[in-house]
Amino acid sequence: MTFGEQPAYLRVAGDLRKKIVDGRLPPHTRLPSQARIREEYGVSDTVALEARKVLMAEGLVEGRSGSGTYVRERPVPRRVARSGFRPERGATPFRQEQADAGVRGTWESRSERAEASAAVAERLGIESGDPVMRTKYLFREAGEPMMLSTSWEPLALTGRTPVMLPEEGPLGGMGVVERMRAIDVVVDNVTEEVGARPGLAEELLLLGGVPGHVVLVIQRTYFASGRPVETADIVVPADRYRAAYHLPVK
């Protein structure tokens, strides 16, 4: 194969992808069989199979047991608002976006005491094994799972205070900025790093995805005078949502 030349399975996958995108193979249409692909493109069974695997990994098609492979419905991506500044009324960005868009959002959470892993400890500037409060969230939009989040807060900071449990107490659900302010910790900076990877099986089960689907992972950390006070991993299905940033100009 010369430089710049695509393998045969990618050329076949590319042509089928184009047919899906331009509507010649609309949603719920059965993908041509392996034998049909082999005959139409003059390729081997192996090439035909690999081309179908590419489309499946991209989330364009799905297999149905005993029926074949079908073109998936392509959702119109919605935005997940990310903000470097504190929204009005003390709401978290998620709650504020839901209110602004007139969408009914709900969430479930569970907090528990845990030991910081080496990676979490590095992000929080504490020792591995130090106690943290770990809170797991599942956010829904109009009943549909849309986002997962796992946050960690050092109990050396919040332990034995009214804000130790993020979703309980007088400031439960008010977000990191307001909660930390209540214990005289002024959050003045937040950083986010965005990456993408295949979703883990347990993540896709909760988010309603299929194996191979890609997720956005937003690694967020809040700081107060340079000290990390909370860090979180936010997981969003990349085929359904886009991270939209609202950054103030100074």
Lowest mean pLDDT among 65-79, 154-168, 194-208, 213-227: 65-79
The more confident residue out of 225 and 214 is 225
Measured CA to CA, the distance from residue 29 to residue 217 in angstroms comes to 32
pLDDT of residue 4: 52
Rounded mean pLDDT, 150-163 = 96
State the DSSP H helix or E strand holding residue 154, giving kind and residue range, or none if neither. Answer: strand 144-154
Give pTM, 2 decimals.
Answer: 0.75
User: Which percentage of the chain shows pLDDT scores above 90?
Assistant: 61
pLDDT of residue 193: 95
The more confident residue out of 32 and 86 is 32
pLDDT over 90 at 94, yes or no:
no
All domains of the chain, ordered by start, with CATH? 6-69 (1.10.10.10), 76-243 (3.40.1410.10)
The DSSP output letter for 85 is S
Burial class (CB in 10 A: 0-12, 13-18, 19+), 99: middle
pLDDT of residue 2: 45
Measured CA to CA, the distance from residue 109 to residue 93 in angstroms comes to 16
Helix (H, G, I), strand (E, B) or coil at 63: strand
- Assess contact for 122 and 140: CB atoms under 8 A: no
pLDDT over 70 at 93, yes or no:
no
What is the pLDDT confidence band of residue 3, given thresholds at 50, 70 and 90?
Answer: very low
Helix (H, G, I), strand (E, B) or coil at 223: strand
- Given 3-state DSSP classes, what are the helix, strand and coil percentages for the chain, each rounded to the nearest 5? 30, 35, 35
The more confident residue out of 101 and 130 is 130
pLDDT of residue 102: 54
